[in-house]
Amino acid sequence: MPDGVKERVLETYRQTAETYDQGVSERLGSSRWGIESLTGMLLREMRVPENPVTLDIACGTGLSTFSLVDYLGTGDVHGVDLSPDMVRKAAENADKLGYNIEFKEGDVENLPYPEAMFNMVISNMSFQFFPDKLKALKEIHRVMTPGGRMGQLFGGGEHVAELIDVCLFVSKDNLDLRGFRESVQDVIDMHIDLETVQRLLWETGFRRPLVYGYHRVMNVKPEGFWSRNPYPAYWRASVPEEIREELDAKVLSEMQERSGTRGFKMTWYTIQAYGSKPTN
């Protein structure tokens, strides 16, 4: 399990909470395929219970939570996130967009909710950043009602492998970029595969698991992706401010060097994982 991940996550979103939506939201930003579309993918396989009481874990600025409310049309919806800055921004967004949602600050490994409170739990593009995934799943299992359903969508396997390779190349043998390289290694270590996900669900006590991967090749404009995607934001948060511009220039130069006529090739690999809490 990588050390210091939670601290890096908190620092990342302290720095980026005010600008996060611009790069990942279709409603509040400029993304053409953002959190809202990913939430739609996640929810397609969910069986919505009657009178849903739903939790969005690692809700960020509320983008997936708002999509969840729109999808359900009814029910009691909650959001929780490790970052106080993101929770604050989620509350601001909810007020601006007219949603009545209770957002709380909390760690997925120690959720601030009683046992058996939720009959539906989701998490979107966050599970890869949970350092102790088994502990997180056990805590999710605890707050769910018997018969409740959980669904997660997250980066795994070879997700953004080409960009990771660029970052490792640029930071090689550079002591000033040690923190940067460690944070890139975090992601490598935390991008688990389908078999591992299946095993974790069973070990936690989830049954009727459904686990599959979504593999896509994207071509992106280097500057736009590097400046607005959460992965680079996480990596850059470990870099001293005085050398960030130099790092950005090196990364973008290498991405341009490796780009073709359609842009920089990027492997997009997400895992969707679902499970039910047994009724007995």
Please give the mean pLDDT across all residues of the chain.
94
pTM of the model as a whole: 0.93
Q: Does the pLDDT at position 179 exceed 70?
A: yes
Q: What is the pLDDT of residue 29?
A: 85
Q: What is the pLDDT of residue 33?
A: 77
Confidence of residue 2 (pLDDT cuts 50, 70, 90): low
The phi-psi region of residue 167 (left if phi > 0; otherwise alpha if psi is between -120 and 50; otherwise beta) is alpha
C-alpha distance across the termini of the chain, in Å? 32
Confidence of residue 3 (pLDDT cuts 50, 70, 90): low
Angle at CA of residue 41, ends 39 and 45, nearest 5°: 110
- The mean pLDDT value for 176-195 works out to 94
- The mean pLDDT value for 38-52 works out to 92
Q: What is the pLDDT of residue 50?
A: 87
Q: pLDDT tens for residues 109-132?
A: 999 999 999 999 999 999 999 999
SS3 121: strand
Confidence of residue 193 (pLDDT cuts 50, 70, 90): very high
Q: What is the pLDDT of residue 1?
A: 43
For domain 5-159+190-217+269-276, give the fold. Rossmann fold (3.40.50)
Report which of 121, 93, 123, 124 is spatially closest to residue 27, judged by C-alpha positions. 93
